């Protein structure tokens, strides 16, 4: 699977407040992989979300009510609109067989 190499340039926030209607896509080994999984499986998502460690279960989020940092929550969210146009375009050609749970 092709990964977005610069997902670290995404605006990542420490928050766990935008969880309404979230979809768990399963484990991701990196922030880049999580962003890729969300872009492939949830084209209408606005946030890629995962543990602050940078690996673990990856989620699609569809609302961005609060994108302020909330230190200590242990979860990181990437506002997908903060990806560059090139990063967003790169995900369109990738096929991922990630099962939505």
Q: Does residue 99 belong to any structural domain of this protein? A: no
pLDDT higher than 60, residue 70: yes
The mean pLDDT value of the chain amounts to 78
pLDDT digit string, tens, across residues 10-57 = 888 888 777 778 999 999 999 999 999 999 999 999 999 999 999 999
Q: Does residue 41 belong to any structural domain of this protein? A: yes
**84 falls in which pLDDT band (50, 70, 90)?**
low
Q: Calculate the alpha carbon distances from 32 to 1, 9, 21, 65 in Å.
A: 11, 10, 22, 23
Q: Does residue 84 belong to any structural domain of this protein? A: yes
Q: Does residue 53 belong to any structural domain of this protein? A: yes
Q: Does residue 37 belong to any structural domain of this protein? A: yes
Q: Does residue 100 belong to any structural domain of this protein? A: no
**How many structural domains comprise the chain?**
1
Strands 11-14 vs 23-28: parallel, antiparallel or unpaired? unpaired
The pTM (predicted TM-score) of the whole model is 0.75
What is the domain extent for residue 76? 7-93
Q: Does residue 88 belong to any structural domain of this protein? A: yes
- In which element (H, E) is residue 88 found? helix 85-90
């Amino acid at each position: 699977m092709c990964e977005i190499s610069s997902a670290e340039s995404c605006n990542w926030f420490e928050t766990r407040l935008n969880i309404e209607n979230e979809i768990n896509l399963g484990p991701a080994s990196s922030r880049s992989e999580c962003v890729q999984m969300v872009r492939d499986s949830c084209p209408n998502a606005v946030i890629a979300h995962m543990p602050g460690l940078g690996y673990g279960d990856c989620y699609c989020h569809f609302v961005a009510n609060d994108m302020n940092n909330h230190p200590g929550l242990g979860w990181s969210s990437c506002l997908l609109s903060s990806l560059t146009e090139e990063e967003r375009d790169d995900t369109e050609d990738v096929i991922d067989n990630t099962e939505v749970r």
